[in-house]
Structure 1
Amino acid sequence: MGRSAGQHGGVADLLWDDVSSFFDPEAMGTLPDVCVPNASVADWQAVLDLVAEKGWKSHYTEGESVLPVPAAEAVLSRPADAECPNLRVWPADDVLAIFRFHADDEVDFDVDLRELQGQERLDAFCGFLREIGRRLGKPVLMYPEGDCGHPMLGFNVEEDRVVLLADPSRP
């Protein structure tokens, strides 16, 4: 009995019953935006290194071409009219994050809320945010789709966990 809690490092960051409204695709849009603001090329590279170190399943594409993951500097210095690259990362089975290399000063990715239903998936998602936040020493924030006003939740560096940043009863 006591083993399952220890495998996840103790208590869950967030409880599904508390935050399920934030994960409602009807209310929030299917693809909320997750980002690390005030980032750098080095931060992007740290994320790419983290994906490789963790052995997370991933694939990198430019247009229709699947390619080996290049260095962050190479991706971010491509011409403006080049195909937009995507890095798809599966930190857990059936949980996909799609990184889009729009700017070197913000690490951004999308997740699909339809894949993040229930406590187990929520724990996997929080774990993913925590890994990125710890590696970069920066907050990782989730916003409703297309709304970069106020984040709903995110990794808090000082607390070393994912915390609510808005009231889930008023999405």
Structure 2
Amino acid sequence: MADLLWDDVKCFFDPDTMGALPDVRAPDVSVEGWQAVLDLVAEKGWKSQYSEGETVLPVPRAEVVLSRPVDAECPNLRVWPTADVLAIFRFLDDEVIDFDVDLRELQGQDRLDVLCGFLREIGRRLGRPVLMDGEGAYGHPILGFDVETDRVVLLMEP
């Protein structure tokens, strides 16, 4: 059974009203949490690409990425849980794992299921909630992985 049903949540996936790039985050983590996500990406065999600026590099250990100089290029990790859904992780803070998804890629039940599965995998690995806010609405989660129920749940009324 699906965590969420498209007909119940499609209003939150309208790029024109919600912004195309909602913010997804797992708060209150550590460098070890970041490393757990990097390990998960490798274990799942999800296609990925790490880069610093325009330079594509092998994925380093989390402590290396998060200890870069303040004025260094912001690294990112592009992860494709499926060929047509992309998540872009940004290494901005060692206490919050944050990434963007594109609502234009997340239309319909099949794509919603991919997103829910992705959030669930990350949340299970971390043992933490993984929350999705509307673009620019940080701190007001729409939906998220709930550790206690072990599923993605709606956190805001449609």
TM-score bin, normalised by smaller chain: over 0.9
Aligned to 2:129: 139
How far has the Cα of 1:149 moved from its partner?
2.9
Return 5+ residue gaps in structure 2 as ranges.
none
Give 3-state SS (helix, strand or coil) of 1:91's partner. Answer: strand
Taking only the aligned residue pairs, the percentage that are identical comes to 76
Q: For residue 117 of structure 2, what is the amino acid of its counterpart?
A: G
Matched, 1:41 2:31: yes
Q: Distance in 2 between matches of 1:63 and 1:133?
A: 28
Aligned pairs for 1:29-108 (under 5 A) are 29-108=19-98
1:91-119 per-position Cα deviation (integer Å, ceiling 9, x unaligned): 01210000000000000000000000000
Q: Distance in 2 between matches of 1:15 and 1:125?
A: 12
Q: For residue 4 of structure 2, what is the amino acid of its counterpart?
A: L
Q: Distance in 2 between matches of 1:113 and 1:71?
A: 29
Choose which of 115, 118, 121 in structure 2 pairs with 1:125: 115
Choose which of 22, 25, 31 in structure 1 pairs with 2:15: 25
Q: TM-score, normalised by structure 2?
A: 0.99
Which of the two has higher C-alpha Rg?
1
Q: Distance in 1 between matches of 2:113 and 2:139?
A: 25
1:36-75 per-position Cα deviation (integer Å, ceiling 9, x unaligned): 0101000000000000000000000000100000000000
Q: Name the stretch that deviates more: 104-113 or 143-152.
A: 143-152
Aligned to 1:167: 157
Q: For residue 64 of structure 2, what is the amino acid of its counterpart?
A: A
1:115-135 per-position Cα deviation (integer Å, ceiling 9, x unaligned): 000000000000000000000
How far has the Cα of 1:150 moved from its partner?
1.3
Aligned to 2:103: 113
Return 5+ residue gaps in structure 1 as ranges.
1-10
Q: Distance in 1 between matches of 2:124 and 2:83?
A: 22
Q: Distance in 2 between matches of 1:149 and 1:68?
A: 32
Q: TM-score, normalised by structure 1?
A: 0.92
**Structure 1 segments of 4+ aligned residues over 2 angstroms from their partners:** none
Q: Distance in 1 between matches of 2:140 and 2:55?
A: 35
How far has the Cα of 1:163 moved from its partner?
0.1
